[in-house]
Every structure is written in C-alpha cells, then in structure tokens.
A and B are shown apart, each in its own frame.
Chain A
Amino acid sequence: MVLYDSATLGGSCSGSSSSSSSSKPPPLQQRQQTQQDIDGLLAGAGYRVRSSELRKVAQRLERLETAMVNSPADLSQLASDTIHYNPSDLASWVDSLLSEFTQPPTCPSEFIMDPETNQTVVSDAWTTAEPHMPQVHQNISYEQQSLNNQLTVVTAMEEDSGIRLVHMLMTCAECVQRGDFSLATSCLEDMQGLLTRVNTVCGIGKVAGHFIDALSRRIFQGIGGGTINGGSAYENEILYHHFYEACPYLKFAHFTANQAILEAFDGHDCVHVVDFNLMHGLQWPALIQALALRPGGPPLLRLTGIGPPSPDGRDSLREIGLRLAELARSVNVRFAFRGVAASRLEDVKPWMLQVNPKESVAVNSIMQLHRLLGSDLNRNSPIETVLSWIRSLNPKIMTVVEQEANHNQPGFLDRFTEALHYYSTMFDSLEACTVQPHKALAEIYIQREIANVVSCEGSARVERHEPLSKWRTRLSGAGFRPLHLGSNAYKQASMLLTLFSAEGYSVEENDGCLTLGWHSRPLIAASAWQAVSDGTADFPA
C-alpha cells in the first residue's frame, strides 16, 4: 500500500513510476519525508492519519459516537445501507459516517465552562504523551513494507523432496542469472529426476514441473530468444475461457469492474465502453442486463472491443459483437458494437475508437496494462503513450484489473522467486475445481503465463505484472485519481464467492481497491480511476 494522498503526489516515491528499472525502495530519508506527518503508530495499525489532524479526528469520532447514541434508527441504517469507502483514511471515513446523520449532533463534552470567565471553551481534554516516555523505535510501518520487496508465501511445504526441489529451482535460477548455463543445465537434469519422486498434487510440487520447463526453455533458447509461447489467438481464447470457468479470478474482475462502470454511468444516456481485450465478450452480458434493469431505463450503449486480428479471414470480433447485439436487443437496450483489431494494445490509436464527445466513456482493462511495460529506448514507453491517450478521452471511469504480483523486477532471480510463490498459490486454489476439462486447460493457461515470465525477455516478455502499489504510483503520475470501491462492491464479491467458489478464496479491501486471493495471499487486484480534471498530468512525463 503506497502512502500517498490524492492531493499530494508521491513524487518522492516514484523511483519506479514509468520504467521498470528499479526494484529497490527509495532511500529512507525520502520515505520518511513523505510520511513525516503521518502518525507512525496508527500506520502500523493500518490507518493513515496526519499527526496534525489527530485532534480533529478525535473530535469527529466523539461527535459520531454521540450521534450514534442519540439516534439508534440512523445507526441501524448506517450499519446496513450505508456504503463505506477506504477505511484506512480514518478522517474521511468518520466524516462520511457523520454526514449520514440527519442532524448534526451537538457534543456537550466538547465544550466546558471555563470556571474563571464563565465562557464556553472547546474542551481539550486529551492527555499529551507522557513527558518521560522512552523513545520508541517505530518499526517500519507495513506500508513501508510494501515499498520494500514484499514476498508473501502461503503454505510452505514440508516434505523433504519438496524442499530440495525448491532449493534446486532457486539454485538453477541463480545460475541462469549469473550466466552459468552449464551448471544450470545439470541442475535441470537433477530436478527432472527429483520430480518423479515428489508429491505433485499440491503446492510447490504441482508447479515445479512448469517452472522446470520454463527454465529449460530459457536456457536452451538463449536469453531474448523464443516467441511468445507460440499459441495462436484462437488457442489463447479457448484457454482463457476455461480459466474463466475453473476459478473465480476473471469473474471477480468482471463483476467488480461492471459494478463500478454501472455506478459511473448512473444518470448518463449515452455511454461507451472500450474493452481492451474483448476475448469472447464474457464480461458484457451482465452489464447489458444490469443497464436494462436500470431505474429510468437503459442508456444507448456503445461497445468498442479491441482484440487481435483473426488469421483465417474470420472477423471474430464482429461475430462476438453480433451475439452481444442480439442479447441487447432481447432486453431492449439500444446497442452498437465496433471491433478494433490490433496485435498489440500500443498499436491502437484513439481515433480508431471514434469516441463521441457527448458520450460517457468507460475504459476497461482486464490484465492488459502490464503488457505495455516493456520499455523501448527508441520512443516513449508504450504505457505512457497509452495512458496519455486514455486520459485525452476524458473517461468517466477506467477500470483496471491486474495480477497482484511483482513479476517485472529486473533481476531474474527475484522475478523467478516471486513467480514461484505466486503461481504455486494460484495452482493450489485451482485444486478446488474438480470440473474437467476446465481445470486441465486452466492449468495450461497459467502455465503459459509462467513460461512467459520465466523464459522470455525484451518485447517477447509481455507478462510484466506489477503490484497495486506500483500501479497507484504510475497511474497517479499519469494524471489519474482513484475512485474508491466501497463496501457494497466488497459485499457482492464476497457473496458471489461464497455461492460459486470453494472455501479459501478471500476478498480484501486495500486502500479503495479490492483484491481477490487464495487464503491470505491476494492474487488479483481491481481498481477504478478517473482522469484528474485539470487537463495536465500532475507528474511530469
């Protein structure tokens, strides 16, 4: 969780904003400056409060308590209907609750009679810290932890052979990083032997085979060589569909984004959704139906779907558009579809989207932005270019879902380690799915991601996942401000998980964003953004 607030940019935390160069946190002094005014102890408890505002927050809390006591009817409404946002920002959370009360409460204890003057004065009854308090070493807050390399491991494995396998994987990866390919090759052989004796049902054993394959590919193709897995767009779509069915990550992405888009479009009659990766259009039937049921009637909905060109002359984008149009017609939603064929997102130009200045635009990116993070020294980095034209469309909302992982670190070993734990957690979660062929094909889908992270480099390496903290810095630097996802979205996501997925998945709120993870490890993060309205990026490009 990056410590910034929307008014001041984390300028000093931006060491890694546009290029993927630095994985090291900014120097200690810079972090401390940014956080100078934040109460360090409350930060360790997960709350961001400026020391200078503590007193004010305390007074508001008092007022809130009085209000809650004095009107229990409002209290129960507050408990059930009110949508809560971003609880870490304690000041604004308390203020938002206060604003729900019908009457601004008076708070007798705030005011006392000064016995000498008989004037009412604001009571300032809080004790100050005891003067002889030993200097407390404030441990690094967990927010600073996330600026460091955060490495979350769930379920370390215990069988000896499993441990040895991980050791060898790490050794092999380290050899690769050092360029010692002969040693790496002999590691590979040892591992392949060990694999036959390891429990491959769950945890590290399950994914080890895929990582061994990926390492092998890297070693024998040479660094930078190798195509992107060689899968055709058609194959990718099929695998994607099975991944969609086998586990809840994509469903979570879709319905969280849809909920945010629905809210953003409230009151607008001409709306235009730009989908950065249409696939089979799986996300859109639900939005179309929700818009159909909107009080006051549905808007005119335009959908522009971006996707790779079809090799065989079919216009697969158009086919999907036609199916969606049929659905829209059946629920009386005026609908228009346009397909934009592009092999890479950075080849799309804004004029291709034909955005009408009168319509409200939603830009929807499900696991696409990270593909733009490969830097090309000859021109502007693709991510900056794309974010810049998105901003020029002045979208009402941009929904972003990304893998919550640090797979874009420059050091190979770091990347490898992170990926090992991320994908073993994801595979573990897949165990809960018993339906074939969804599960088997979903595994292949994930395996391709692993292969890309581990064995590709340069422009071929497109799976450049970065965690929420980095996206926050990057997006605010590009002139976007967060739109917080609230407790209603959280509740929906949780309930849907309970209904449709195995136990073990968990949704968490993270500074206005929602993450879905397996047990305590977030794996997918969903966030929503809006262009800052002053027309210029706050952070110089």
Chain B
Amino acid sequence: MARSNEVNLNECKMVVPLNTWVLISNFKLAYNLLRRPDGTFNRHLAEFLDRKVPANANLVDGVFSFDVLIDRGTSLLSRIYRPATAEEPQPNIAELEKPVTAEVVPVIIFFHGGSFAHSSANSAIYDTLCRRLVSLCKAVVVSVNYRRAPENRYPCAYDDGWTALKWVNSRPWLQSQKDSKVHIYLAGDSSGGNIAHHVALRAIESGIDVLGSILLNPMFGGQERTESEKRLDGKYFVTLRDRDWYWRAYLPEGEDRDHPACNPFGPNGRSLEGIKFPKSLVVVAGLDLIQDWQLAYVEGLKKAGQEVKLLYMEQATIGFYLLPNNHHFHTVMDEISKFVSSDC
C-alpha cells in the first residue's frame, strides 16, 4: 500500500552517509517548493537555489573546461571538459579546441539529471561528476545544457541531445588519431539516462556511430504501478507523486505514461530487434522506486538481442554517484571506466 503521505525518514538514514543524506534531503525539500500543484514550475526560485559553477580554462586536478554555444537559435550551451595530456600539461588559452592527440580518445556526451526539470550543465554537482568522468576515462566530456520541462516539453530535450550529437560528431578536433573518427559514448543519469537512450535511437536512424550508452538510474516509467513503486514509495527520498508530476511536465499534454518517451518497451514502444543499437551499461539502484521500469528496460534490450550489462547496486539510493563516499560509487566508476576503454 502506498504510504506517500507518511514521512518515513528512518529507513533512508540507515543506508547513506550523513553528508549524502543532507545533500539529497536538501534537494528533495527544495524541489518540493518548486513543483506547483497546477503543473507549473517556479523556475526563478529553482535557478536561484541551484548551485552553479563557472567553467575554468585553467587546470584543476588535471581537467579544464570551457563552454560552447553549439546552437545560437536555441541558446544551446555545452560545457566541454578535457584532460591535460602529457604533451600539454597546461593548455594554451588559444588552443582549447586543439585536436586530441591520443590514438583513441573517448568522447562522452553527458546529459545531466533532474527529472527533465531541474539542474543545468553548470550545476555544481554535475560539474564535479563530469570532471570525475574525464579523469576516470581519460575522455573528453561534453555536458549538454538541454532545454527543460515544463517550459519545454518532449521532444525538446531529445532534439537538443541530437543537436549535440551531430555537433560532436562533426568536430575535427575530437577525432581519434587511430581512425579519424569521433569515438562517441552517450551517458546520463535520471532524465539524462532517458535522453541518452532516445538520442542513441536517433543516431542509428541517421548512421552516426555511437559506441556505447551509460545509463545511471535512468528515468523510465509507465501507466501501471509496479511492485517496486508501491513498495518503495516515499521511503528513499522519492515519491510516486513527484515522479508523476515530472512525467506530466515533460510528456505532451494529454499523454499518459505509456508514451514511448517514458516507456520505450511498453505498449507504444518499438522493437529494437535487428537494429544495431549501441552496447549499454545500465546502473540500477536497489532502493530506487522506479527500478522495475529500469529492469524492464534492460529486459527489453536483451529480448531484442542487444548487448547490455546490468549493474544492480542493492543498497544504493538515488544520487549515490554524486559523492564518492560509498562503495557503490567506486564500483560503478570502475565499470564505467572499463566500459569506455574496451574499444581501444
């Protein structure tokens, strides 16, 4: 029986470190203030409260970053993160877009989370995460500042992801020396994971090669109420009500959660059988109430004969990958690093 009205705080306290609990609870409470019952969103307050950081073309811990306006029409910004190389310990300001020098350089196009409504590419939590990915994978990371709901509904986020993919694919300076091609991976957490899936779909249709997709706690759903949703509603920072709110904010008005954006293998989904879909690494947190949908996604890929690896982190909650203070974090980071380097 859903207990979304009861505040049951003790259980999530037991499974996360104190600072993680403070961080995620802070988000939870702030987000409660931002979602209005009528479906509108307090964007001004959201931007005021969001902690942002500027890009920094000077090296910090071996990584530098800069922002690029990749589409003026939609004001689509992306933040590019690059590692310092042995040849160039301190990047020259004139050479931010100097060609990558290694034989193979993975380029990870990253879509931040936030349930389609929250956060930005320059949110502190995501800036930190992207920097970690650069160091971990010796990759260039392109973090896309996609348009958010409810002001911009489906398919804006996917359109922006697609624009970013085309832009990355056509940058000569991102081509690996080995084959003069850009070695592209798509990655994202929460709504970003959902976006990664849909951008991968578009890539196939257009012939752009995506080497792999990394989905961290990807946001999927459906009309049906699954067992995990009922069992975990309200227990670990997330409620069904808020999930429903975000889908209503993102999906076209009048559509339900069996829309293929939300439920890609549901009644309105399409089969991926016979399609050359990129290999996927899907991370599911065992205390995430939408895990049944995430596991169904993995099953859907398997049934279609697609290569997919599932990492089920039993005691992990949402957001476990934001702070490096738990073993799930390290396990997942190791797997991501292996996933991205296996093409060398």
Contact = CB atoms under 8 A, between A and B. Distances in A.
A346 interface: no
Contacts of B128: 44-45, 139, 142
Interface stretch (A129-137, A239-247, A298-306): A129-137
Q: Which of A75, A153, A158, A166 has the most CB of B within 10 A?
A: A153
A39 B53 contact: no
Contact of B127 (A136, A142, A522): A142
A323 interface: no
Interface stretch (B271-279, B285-293, B322-330): B322-330
B13 A133 contact: no
Contact of A417 (B28, B93, B127, B132): B93
A46 B45 contact: no
B238 to A, nearest CB: 13
Interface string A150-183: 1111111010000100110110000000000000
A46 B124 contact: yes
B124 A142 contact: yes
Contacts of B14: 125-127
B325 A133 contact: yes
Contacts of A109: 7-10
Contact of B54 (A55, A148, A520): A520
B97 interface: yes
Interface in A43-85: 44-47, 49, 54-55, 57-58, 61-62, 64-66, 68-69, 75, 78-80, 84
A69 B29 CA distance: 10
A149 interface: yes
A57 B36 contact: no
B26 interface: yes
Contacts of A123: 10
A18 to B, nearest CB: 25
How many B residues are at the interface, by size bracket?
A: 35 or more
A151 B95 CA distance: 14
Interface stretch (A210-218, A311-319, A327-335, A486-494): A486-494
Contacts of A128: 17-18
Interface in B92-124: 92-97, 121-124
Interface in A486-531: 487, 490-491, 494-495, 503-504, 506-509, 519-522
Given A65-B25, A79-B33, A44 B124 contact: yes
B19 interface: yes
B49 A65 contact: no
B44 to A, nearest CB: 4
B308 to A, nearest CB: 28
A54 B19 contact: yes
Nearest to B93: A417
A79 B40 CA distance: 12
A56 to B, nearest CB: 10
Contact of B56 (A64, A130, A150): A150
B34 A79 contact: yes
Interface string A397-439: 0000000000000000000010011000000000000000000
B47 A57 contact: no
B289 to A, nearest CB: 17
B13 A125 contact: yes
B204 interface: no
Interface in B227-265: none
A407 to B, nearest CB: 15
Interface in B25-83: 25-26, 28-30, 32-34, 36, 42, 44-45, 47-49, 51-58, 60-61, 66-69, 75, 77, 79
B312 interface: no
A62 B61 contact: no
A494 B66 contact: no
Nearest to B121: A520
Contact of B21 (A79, A126, A142, A507): A126
A112 to B, nearest CB: 9
Contacts of A129: 17-18, 325
A61 B330 CA distance: 28
16 contacts: A39-B19, A44-B124, A62-B9, A109-B8, A127-B15, A130-B327, A134-B330, A142-B127, A153-B93, A154-B55, A154-B66, A163-B94, A167-B94, A417-B93, A490-B48, A520-B67
